[in-house]
Structure 1
Amino acid sequence: MTSINALRLLIRNTSYDRSLMEAAMIRIMLILLAVIGTTLMGVGVTAVLAANLPGWKPIALAALAGGVLSLPIAWAIARRITAASA
């Protein structure tokens, strides 16, 4: 009976540690997202302005594309950081 309780306690602690690591990864991702997102949006807008494309739509699409691309990049980097720190 005691070994079953010890196993249950181990499973609970493992899932609790996993949820803490996921929460830490989300926090790290949000910080990285602010930096990576603004960088990629700025690169896209600068490229559009350097290409001398007319109108506001290319600028908006470049900013949108930079923001969308930054999500998986920030997630992957945050995952690697939390895996290395575990």
Structure 2
Amino acid sequence: MVDSTGLKLCGSGEWLEEKHDNKRRRAWRMLHLGIDADAGRIVVSALTDRDVDDGSQVGPLLDQVDGPVPSVTGDGAYDRTASRL
């Protein structure tokens, strides 16, 4: 199973920025995870910029796996044809 989540990167000065109403653009990254559904553990991961689409990460995630992968399950964001992987 593959999925992703957004991560907001915060520095030590975020509290001061909020206190003084200093609006700075926050840094975001996407964490893509591959999980062994039988074992319930994370087996592969990739950290990308927020503008990288989920579907483009299936190939790099599968490249991290040693051995065969019998099936891959993910939401619609990971739905791509084999020619686009």
Query: What TM-score, normalized to structure 1?
Result: 0.30
Task: Specify which structure has the higher proportion of strand.
Answer: 2
Structure index of larger Rg: 1
| Greater relative CO (CA pairs within 8 A, separation 6+) | 1
Task: Specify which structure has the higher proportion of helix.
Answer: 1
Query: What TM-score, normalized to structure 2?
Result: 0.30
